[in-house]
Amino acid sequence: MGTVTAQGLSKSFGKVQALDGVTLDVPDGAFFVVLGPSGAGKTTTLRAIAGLTKLDAGSVHLDGRDATGDAPADRDLAMVFQNYALYPRHTAYENIASPLRARGRPASEIAAAVDRISGLLHIERLLQRRPAQLSGGEMQRVALARALVRSPRAFLMDEPLTNLDLKLRVEMRTELTRIHRSLGATFVYVTNDQVEALSMADQIAVLKAGRVQQVGTPAEVYERPANQWVAGFVGSPPISLLACRAEGDRLIGAAGWSLPRPGWTTAEDGRPLLLGLRSEDLSVEQRGDAALPGELYGLEPLGDRTVVDVRVGTDLLKVKARPTISGTPGERLLVTVDLDRAHLFDASTGQSLS
Ligand code: ATP
């Protein structure tokens, strides 16, 4: 078993309220990602679960048992940090074996465990080398193997891929998902990288300023963001948000545009709204009934696609287009909108009305 439940975690450091009633329910075997910008309280949450931070309020239950007062060593959790140094004089094998040796496990069990985790991380051929004989990426794998060689109740991971270059980070995302599946262990994984969260998580908790904004699967968080802030934080390029209001069967933009009012919205007439449009739900290449007039502001070629920046009044829309699209700044364009996939938010509270 490896369920982790945090209930109403609160913690202040002087005047800074790092956590303000954080509640998380991590099921056994989940790959649970805590996602948020710098300073959101992610590390503090992890440290509170590990027992490394004394809480002002709240409780931590592990496998259903109240562990709030337990010492870190009694929680049977493994912390994996961004920076994890290897012992320079020891071989990779000895480094990976060290947590089990420290616990006095028998040699045969250690050999089997190192064997298994090395296989999962594809580092069998590196086991007799010392850290100085390994590349940065290989060292990271060995360090990860050392962290994962134990079988604790759950692994708590604090941005473990941050120090890798982009290519390796992308590779390690796939590896970590695979390893998670093979180990069947509970991962609580902290990151500020929404792509990491979307690509690896079973469930994401989005944290901002010490408060949980939304908990859901990657698809739920992306497709049905609970509020304007989550919509803006998750997704790349960021969602475009346009000020508007409902008037009868139309949505009227502050910039003067008008679109058919989506059937699904419950907003009453006149209420200030924000219309959220993702780049893949907009097109300058196809024609449809719902369209916004604008002008070309710029092109961002990204290899497999180009993001077209279109100005609609004072708003800037990010529109996904084919990679070979061309155009001249200032040129007039019509942006076709897939209103079934659009989002509406209350402009004053930011809450979703979709
Ligand atoms: P990052 O992604 O930058 O690591 P984070 O989401 O992990 O950020 P935390 O490290 O949990 O954020 O910090 C949350 C808030 O609490 C921040 O404002 C931080 O400055 C503050 N904080 C954290 N630890 C301490 C401490 N020991 N003393 C004072 N303030 C702290």
CATH of the domain at 20: 3.40.50.300
Tens digit of pLDDT for each residue in 125-171? 999 999 999 988 888 889 889 989 988 999 999 998 887 788 888 88
User: Within a domain: residue 354?
Assistant: no
Residues with Cβ < 8 Å from 266, sequence gap 6 or more?
Answer: 353
Q: Are residues 167 and 216 in the same domain?
A: yes
Q: Are residues 333 and 261 in the same domain?
A: yes
- Give me the mean pLDDT over the 323-328 stretch: 92
Q: How far is CA 80 from CA 147, 176, 335, in A?
A: 6, 13, 46
Structural domain range at position 248: 237-346
> What is the C-alpha to C-alpha distance for residues 165 and 135, in angstroms, rounded to an integer?
12
Centre of ligand 1 to C-alpha 42, Å, is 8
pLDDT-derived band of residue 269, with 50, 70 and 90 as boundaries?
confident
Last residue of one domain, picked from the residues 182, 216, 232: 232
User: Within a domain: residue 353?
Assistant: no
Specify the residue with its C-alpha closest to ligand 1, atom 14: 41
> What is the C-alpha to C-alpha distance for residues 42 and 61, in angstroms, rounded to an integer?
18
User: Within a domain: residue 313?
Assistant: yes
Q: Are residues 191 and 64 in the same domain?
A: yes
Domain count, the chain: 2
> What is the C-alpha to C-alpha distance for residues 248 and 59, in angstroms, rounded to an integer?
49
Given a cut of 80, whether residue 81 has pLDDT beyond it is no
Tens digit of pLDDT for each residue in 187-221? 999 999 999 999 999 999 999 999 999 999 999 99
**Window from 80-84, 170-174, 293-297, 320-324 with minimum mean pLDDT:** 80-84
Given a cut of 70, whether residue 29 has pLDDT beyond it is yes
Q: What is the mean pLDDT of the chain?
A: 93
Centre of ligand 1 to C-alpha 38, Å, is 8
Q: Are residues 53 and 111 in the same domain?
A: yes
Last residue of one domain, picked from the residues 175, 204, 232: 232
User: Within a domain: residue 352?
Assistant: no
- Give me the mean pLDDT over the 100-113 stretch: 93
**Window from 82-86, 97-101, 210-214, 245-249 with minimum mean pLDDT:** 82-86
Prediction ipTM score: 0.97
Any atom of ligand 1 within 6 Å of the Cβ of 328: no
pLDDT-derived band of residue 25, with 50, 70 and 90 as boundaries?
very high
- For the stretch 319-328, contacts whose Cβ atoms lie closer than 8 Å and that sit 24 or more positions apart, written own/partner, are 319/279, 319/282, 319/283, 319/284, 320/279, 320/280, 320/282, 320/283, 321/283, 321/284, 321/285, 322/285, 325/284, 325/285, 325/299, 326/299, 327/296, 327/299, 328/296
The pLDDT score that the predictor gives to residue 294 is 93
Q: Are residues 220 and 246 in the same domain?
A: no
Which stretch of DSSP H or E encloses residue 23? Answer: strand 16-26
User: Within a domain: residue 124?
Assistant: yes
Last residue of one domain, picked from the residues 199, 232, 265: 232
Whole-model pTM: value is 0.91
Report the amino acid identity of residue 228.
Answer: Q
What angle, rounded to 10 degrees, do the helices at 107-120 and 166-183 form?
130
User: Within a domain: residue 217?
Assistant: yes
The pLDDT score that the predictor gives to residue 354 is 80
Centre of ligand 1 to C-alpha 35, Å, is 14
Q: Are residues 184 and 242 in the same domain?
A: no
